[in-house]
Amino acid sequence: MKINVLTLYPEMFPGFLGYSLAGKALSEGKFSFNVVNIRDFATDKYKSVDDTPFGGGAGMIMKPDVVDAALKSVYKSGPIYYLSPRGEVFRQQTAHEWAKLNEITFLCGRFEGIDQRILEKWQIKEISVGDFVLSGGEPALLTMLDAVVRLLPTVMGNETSQYDESFENGLLEYPQYTKPQNWEGYQVPEVLVSGHHAKIKEWRLAQSLALTKARRPDLWEKYPDRNKYERKVS
Ligand code: SAH
């Protein structure tokens, strides 16, 4: 998977994706970064990349001509996303969709954002990391890509461990425990040491259902088997 990144801070990449599971996948070439410094495409002697907004208001806007030249230098195929609090919120489902792509391009904003005409001309989609405002798109992008990279084929050590995880089945994950069984008087739930696989499965599902209903009513509303379990979940 080839990841094109347009940014004013190229040194932020690969950032924390150079470590751990992602770092290994990066060094093995399972994905690659092609990072473009937008400032390299500035045309005036001050290397300006931003200017004041038409209509007035605070802050600066990234210039369309400069961003356009940066995009032309790198774009070949695949979707282009602008990191933006106005975008659709990134989810596990988005991570799965992106993990199937060969090439994807991202535009990281700074200042108050970019000129709207760039989004129109290049048919760029907007994607958000959540309902809060960052000072730039880079930390949002790195976070999203962390979720994508671990889904790439052969990146996760134990590939089956994905399927039980939060969001994968529409539910939050059940509580997990490891050794020692008795830790400072806190005991692991009996059922988990019973060796009774069907009972363990049932307990885990019940925990997942209860947690999801209590903490994420939005997910619970969308859960297809909700009616089947509604009465069992307190
Ligand atoms: N004026 C803009 C915010 C600009 S923040 C507004 O009110 O919508 C500066 C840059 O940070 C943005 O251009 C965007 O690339 C990035 N950014 C900020 N919050 C983000 C979020 N929640 N998700 C993704 N990118 C974000």
Residue with CA at minimum distance from ligand 1 atom 15: 109
Ligand 1 nearest-atom number relative to CA 82:
15
Average pLDDT over residues 128-150: 98
103 backbone dihedrals φ, ψ, rounded to 5° = -145, 140
Specify the CATH number of the domain 164-233: 1.10.1270.20
31/106 Cα distance (integer angstroms): 15
- Kindly give the distance from the C-alpha atom of residue 117 to the centroid of ligand 1, in angstroms, as a whole number: 17
- Kindly give the distance from the C-alpha atom of residue 179 to the centroid of ligand 1, in angstroms, as a whole number: 43
- Kindly give the distance from the C-alpha atom of residue 115 to the centroid of ligand 1, in angstroms, as a whole number: 13
What stretches of 100-199 adopt beta strand conformation (E)?
103-107, 125-128, 182-183, 186-187
Average pLDDT over residues 217-234: 90
Would you place residue 66 in the very low, low, confident or very high pLDDT band (cuts 50, 70, 90)?
very high
Q: Which of 140, 142, 139, 136 is nearest to 49 (CA)?
A: 136
Ligand 1 nearest-atom number relative to CA 107:
15
Q: What pTM was computed for the model? A: 0.95
Would you place residue 14 in the very low, low, confident or very high pLDDT band (cuts 50, 70, 90)?
very high
CATH superfamily of 2-149: SPOUT methyltransferase, trefoil knot domain (3.40.1280.10)
Would you place residue 231 in the very low, low, confident or very high pLDDT band (cuts 50, 70, 90)?
confident
- Kindly give the distance from the C-alpha atom of residue 172 to the centroid of ligand 1, in angstroms, as a whole number: 28
* Ligand 1 proximal residues by C-beta, below 6 Å: 83-86, 108-110, 112-113, 128-130, 132-137, 140
Average pLDDT over residues 4-32: 98
Give percent of the chain with pLDDT exceeding 90.
92
Ligand 1 nearest-atom number relative to CA 113:
13
> Is residue 112 a contact partner of residue 58, using CB atoms and an 8 Å limit?
yes
Ligand 1 nearest-atom number relative to CA 130:
22
**19 pLDDT exceeds 90?**
yes
The average confidence (pLDDT) of the chain is 96
> Is residue 78 a contact partner of residue 34, using CB atoms and an 8 Å limit?
no
pLDDT of residue 232: 80
Would you place residue 230 in the very low, low, confident or very high pLDDT band (cuts 50, 70, 90)?
confident
115/68 Cα distance (integer angstroms): 10
pLDDT of residue 176: 98
**234 pLDDT exceeds 80?**
no
Q: Cis peptide before 180, with omega less than 30 degrees from 0?
A: yes
- Kindly give the distance from the C-alpha atom of residue 109 to the centroid of ligand 1, in angstroms, as a whole number: 7
List the domain boundaries for the chain.
Answer: 2-149, 164-233
Q: Where are the alpha helices (DSSP H) in 105-233?
A: 116-121, 137-149, 197-215, 217-222, 226-229
- Kindly give the distance from the C-alpha atom of residue 54 to the centroid of ligand 1, in angstroms, as a whole number: 19
